[in-house]
Amino acid sequence: MDVNEIRAKSGFLCDMDGVIYQGNRLIDGVADFVKWLNENEKSYLFLTNASSKSPRELHMKLARLGLEVGEEHFYTSALATAKFLASQDSGCSAYVIGEPGLVGALYDEGIAMNDVDPDYVVVGESRNYNYVCILRAVRLVQKGARLIGTNPDLTGPDESGIIPACRAFVAPIEMTTGKHAYFIGKPNALMMRTGLDLLGEHSKNSVMIGDRMDTDIIAGIETGLSTVLVMTGVSTRETIEEYPYRPSLVLDRVADIVG
């Protein structure tokens, strides 16, 4: 597949960390890419495994970086996690290790916070992750709470390099309890199908753009989308060879779609 075939797609699902920005730095050419999406009336959604920020906060972050994108163009693993829990057990409660974006999404779905006898232990990225919260999570899972991770990313890109992500935070709880977490974010088809539904697009007319072979690209492949891997985040041209599948197209950066 070449870049002209990608340009012809009508629906664009796009990862954020490592594709749109790195930490608090907008990646070169992203503004041109978003302008192209708008001018060509493409349907697009920023589909991120990060759970710490709400769509409004992501909108504000991009605005600070000089990019104006409406809140309706964001969907996070926090929103997907909250929707999943509400569909499984309406009125449930959870002990949460995570940032306000995750807590707020759970509240909005009617899920109560509970650190005594919750139905679920939910883990997302957190700057306040520590031994005390790990110990409490372990005790609650041992008592029967079901373990949920917002996403399966082991690492993520930052301005300073690669940093731990959700799966690294979940690992001590899994290893201590012997229980395996259920991860909601990409490549889980739940999040991908919701993204397509929000766009109102069919998979054959859509493309997934990401920086990770193990989440973004496999998620796109398994959902029937064309896939574009960019070299501004985690995966590299060398690490592509570690996987038995391939993206439809490899580009240096997302702006290369524009030309």
C-alpha distance across the termini of the chain, in Å = 15
216 labelled catalytic: no
Give the domain extent around 15: 3-49+189-230+246-257
Question: Are 9 and 88 members of one domain?
Answer: no
Among the listed residues 17, 211, 214, 216, the single catalytic one is 17
The number of residues in the chain equals 259
Mean model confidence pLDDT for the chain: 95
Angstrom distance (rounded) from CA 257 to CA 259: 5
Q: Is residue 70 part of a domain?
A: no
Which of 167, 163, 171 is closest to 214 using CA atoms? 167
Question: Are 107 and 146 members of one domain?
Answer: yes
Read off the amino acid at residue 239: T
Domain count within the chain = 2
Over residues 90-104, the mean pLDDT reads 96
Q: Is residue 60 part of a domain?
A: no
**Which of 183, 201, 222 is where one domain is finished?**
183
Question: Are 88 and 134 members of one domain?
Answer: yes
Read off the amino acid at residue 164: P
Question: Are 44 and 8 members of one domain?
Answer: yes
Over residues 171-184, the mean pLDDT reads 98
Q: Is residue 158 part of a domain?
A: yes
Res. 23: pLDDT tops 90? no
**Which of 128, 149, 183 is where one domain is finished?**
183
The secondary structure of 166-225, three-state, reads HHHHHHHHHHHHCCCCEECCCCCHHHHHHHHHHHCCCHHHEEEEECCHHHHHHHHHHHCC
Res. 158: pLDDT tops 80? no
pTM: 0.90
Question: Are 139 and 196 members of one domain?
Answer: no
Question: Are 171 and 95 members of one domain?
Answer: yes
DSSP 74-114: EEEHHHHHHHHHHHHSTT-EEEEES-HHHHHHHHHTTPEE-
Question: Are 91 and 174 members of one domain?
Answer: yes
Res. 83: pLDDT tops 80? yes
Res. 162: pLDDT tops 90? no
Res. 160: pLDDT tops 80? no
Among the listed residues 2, 15, 89, 158, the single catalytic one is 15
256 labelled catalytic: no
What pLDDT, on the 0 to 100 scale, is given for residue 155? Answer: 87
Domain of residue 92, CATH code: 3.40.50.1000
Question: Are 171 and 139 members of one domain?
Answer: yes
Q: Is residue 61 part of a domain?
A: no
Q: Is residue 106 part of a domain?
A: yes
Q: Is residue 237 part of a domain?
A: no
Question: Are 162 and 202 members of one domain?
Answer: no
Q: Is residue 56 part of a domain?
A: no
Question: Are 153 and 178 members of one domain?
Answer: yes
Question: Are 114 and 204 members of one domain?
Answer: no
What pLDDT, on the 0 to 100 scale, is given for residue 231? Answer: 96
Question: Are 219 and 169 members of one domain?
Answer: no
